[in-house]
Chain A
Amino acid sequence: MAASRQVIPGFHFTLGITFFYLSLILLLPLAAFLLYASGMGLTKFLEVVIDPRVFHAYEVSFGTSLAAALINGVFGLLLAWVLVRYDFPGKRVLDGLIDLPFALPTAVAGIALTTLYAENGWLGQFFYGLGIPSAFSVFGITIALIFVGIPFVARSVQPVLRDLDPSLEEAAVMFGASPWLTFRRVVFPELVSPLLTGFALAFARGIGEYGSVVFIAGNLPYETEIAPLLIMAKLEQFDYQAAAAIAIVMMAMSFAILLALNGYQRYRSKKQGV
């Protein structure tokens, strides 16, 4: 359709604002970054990227984000289920609380979690007693990423579960299916898509997360150093090229996750002929 023939007035005006703003805030900085990074050359790039310390930071970032996103997948589904299907006192407060990680500044979460899970902290005492170092460890990083990712899965699954046609389940019950079978074969398949969406968003967010993790991580090279922190470290040493190289790999990881999600959704909607 020709862009110049629009029924509703205001096309050029909103197009102008949107493009001007996107250029200034997104495209220009992105271009500056790419321009700078492209000047670095492949050798320097590889040198930075396959440095064992950097490589280990990716592993920590990727591994803890994956673990946290998986745990959030389970609890997010549980939370959505409980909030949609059951009535109990305090439900509305609980529902409102799920968004806390969106609203609470990450630095506040970071220092609170660190204090909570430190050796003499309220929860740390218990974990350290069991021989689990719950702060300044991969365990601690995962806790922080779980905190940050709680809303993603719960909030993607909740509306789908709420709008699920009750006659689907009623049909299954009419055939004499048990509640568990009904859930597994009828309800769960409907939730796979939002579940994956929430999972991928939480995963991508975890890889880039900085504020909530930096305090509890302890930041020991080769142990609990995460990729975003390494970028900060390189910046403080004025090694901008190394920072850019690490950033490129991180962006590639996030894009890969979101592209995979997108690809899956497309495949699914094609398969179901929607």
Chain B
Amino acid sequence: MQQKKGVLAWALILIAVLFLLVMLVLPLVLVASEALAKGWQVYVKAITEPFAVKALALTLEATVLAVISNTLFGLASAFLLTKFAFRGEALLGACIDLPFAISPVVAGLFFVMLFGRMSPIYPFLRAEHIAIVFAVPGIILATVFVTFPFITRELVPVMEAQGRDEEEAAATFGASGWQIFRHVTLPNIKWALLYGVILCTARAMGEFGAVSVVSGHVRGKTNTLPLHIEILYNEYNFTAAFAVASILVILAIVILILRNLVEWRAKRGLKHAD
């Protein structure tokens, strides 16, 4: 709908632009400005400091593991939900959405109660010297919990819209499950999958509440980047906090650009196909 724009239209555009500038852009500018407030040297020092590097490494580790396992789960569960009819489908869908209704802090609490001192399996874990809560495995589990619905939620509507016909056609030729998935389903959902993976990565990388509960805040050992930022900030080391934060801002912007690129590619692919 393209009309000649009146005063109202320009006013609405102006309000929208101002709202986003103040709410979204200004905080980003602030992060950059605070990070560089004491010059490049301080900035570089802050982000190369051993604890920061270790926190970055742990963040990447947790993110990569969570994204890989959630991708496998996302593919399996979306295939299950869209290509088969079975009793309990709706219940399963609701279960997968559950993390959206649960505060990350509460999610962290779940894992403390499963693996922590009050857990029935704690004596066993202790005897075997397995540390999960207040250790790296707990951080990974909490990250996985908070991010596991993303890929499924991205894939289900796309696969629902595509229907089962192509898979059924392949099945009438006697193709195996893997052949069908590899040659028929996957090529049809690659953009949606990539989109989901990107969303999942963004969320995994920045997870704070759940990780905060299970981490135990052991510096250099169980601190992810967001937790490291919190510690620096609470120590009034603002420049360092913002310097480290700027790494995450850059990652977030890269993710946004990737996300838009994927969306644009997917749309172009569709147009091309028409």
Q: Quote the shortest CB–CB distance from B173 to chain A (angstroms).
A: 12
In the complex, chain B residues 64-91 whose Cβ is within 8 Å of any chain A Cβ: 69, 72-73, 76-77, 79-80, 83-87
Beta-carbon nearest neighbor of B227 in chain A: A107
- Known A105-B208, A111-B229: A146·B180 in contact at CB below 8 Å: no
CB–CB B206/A8 < 8 A: no
Check if B103 sits within 8 Å of A250, measured CB to CB: yes
**Does B51 make an interface contact (CB < 8 A)?**
no
B206–A104 CB distance below 8 A = yes
- Among residues of A, the one whose C-beta sits closest to the C-beta of B263 is A96
| Residue among B9, B118, B141 making CB contact with A240, cutoff 8 Å | B118
The answer to whether B119 touches A32, judged by C-beta atoms less than 8 angstroms apart, is: yes
Counting CB contacts under 8 A, is A139 at the interface? no
The answer to whether B113 and A146 touch across the interface, beta carbons within 8 angstroms, is no
Rounded to whole angstroms, the CA-CA distance of A95 and B267 in the bound complex is 15
Question: In the complex, are the beta carbons of B24 and A100 less than 8 A apart?
Answer: yes
Q: Which residues of A contact B79 (CB under 8 A)?
A: 10, 14
- Mark each residue of chain B from 15 to 35: 1 if its CB lies under 8 Å from any CB of chain A, else 0: 111011011111110110010
A11 touches B101 (CB 8 A): no
Contact assessment for B87 and A231 in the assembled complex, using a CB-CB cutoff below 8 Å: no
A8–B12 contact, CB under 8 A? no
Chain B interface residue count: which class?
Answer: 35 or more
A6 to B82, CA, bound (A): 12
CA A228 to CA B84, docked complex, whole Å: 39
A32-B113, A79-B19 known; A17 and B145 CB under 8 Å? no
Question: A69: which B residues are within 8 A, CB to CB?
Answer: none
Instruction: Please state if A150 and B230 are interface contacts (CB–CB under 8 Å).
Output: no
B95 touches A26 (CB 8 A): yes
Q: Mark A168-212, 1 if CB is under 8 A from B, else 0.
A: 010000000000000000000000000000000100110111110
Chain B residue contacts of A250, Cβ below 8 A: 103, 106
B109 touches A243 (CB 8 A): yes
Interface string of A77-92 (1 = CB under 8 A from B): 0110111011110101
Q: Is A18 on the interface with B (CB-CB < 8 A)? A: yes
A112 and B245 within 8 A (CB): yes
Chain A residues with a Cβ closer than 8 Å to the other chain, count: 88
Q: At the interface, yes or no: A1 with Cβ under 8 Å from chain B?
A: yes
Are the C-beta atoms of B13 and A82 separated by less than 8 Å?
yes
- In the complex, the chain A residue whose C-beta lies closest to that of B184 is A8
Choose from B76, B109, B238 the contact partner of A235 (Cβ within 8 Å).
Answer: B109
Task: For B83, give the chain A residue with the smallest CB separation.
Answer: A8
Instruction: Give Cα A100 to B26, complex, Å.
Output: 12
Q: How far is the CA of A13 from the CA of B106 in the complex (A)?
A: 31
What are 22 residue pairs bridging A and B, where the CB atoms are less than 8 Å apart in the complex? A14-B76, A14-B77, A14-B84, A18-B80, A22-B92, A26-B95, A99-B256, A100-B252, A100-B256, A101-B24, A107-B206, A107-B226, A107-B227, A107-B245, A108-B229, A123-B22, A207-B103, A211-B212, A227-B103, A228-B105, A240-B118, A251-B101
Since A11-B80, A29-B113 are in contact, a sample of 16 more A-B pairs with Cβ atoms closer than 8 Å, ordered by chain A residue number, is: A8-B83, A10-B177, A14-B79, A25-B145, A35-B113, A35-B120, A78-B12, A78-B16, A88-B13, A96-B260, A104-B249, A107-B206, A208-B103, A235-B109, A247-B109, A251-B106
Q: Which residues of B contact A (CB under 8 A)?
A: 1-2, 5, 9, 12-13, 15-17, 19-20, 22-28, 30-31, 34, 69, 72-73, 76-77, 79-80, 83-87, 92, 95-96, 98-107, 109-114, 116, 118-120, 141, 144-145, 148, 164, 167-168, 170-171, 176-178, 180-181, 199, 202-203, 205-209, 212-213, 225-227, 229-230, 233, 238, 241-242, 245, 248-249, 252-253, 255-257, 259-260
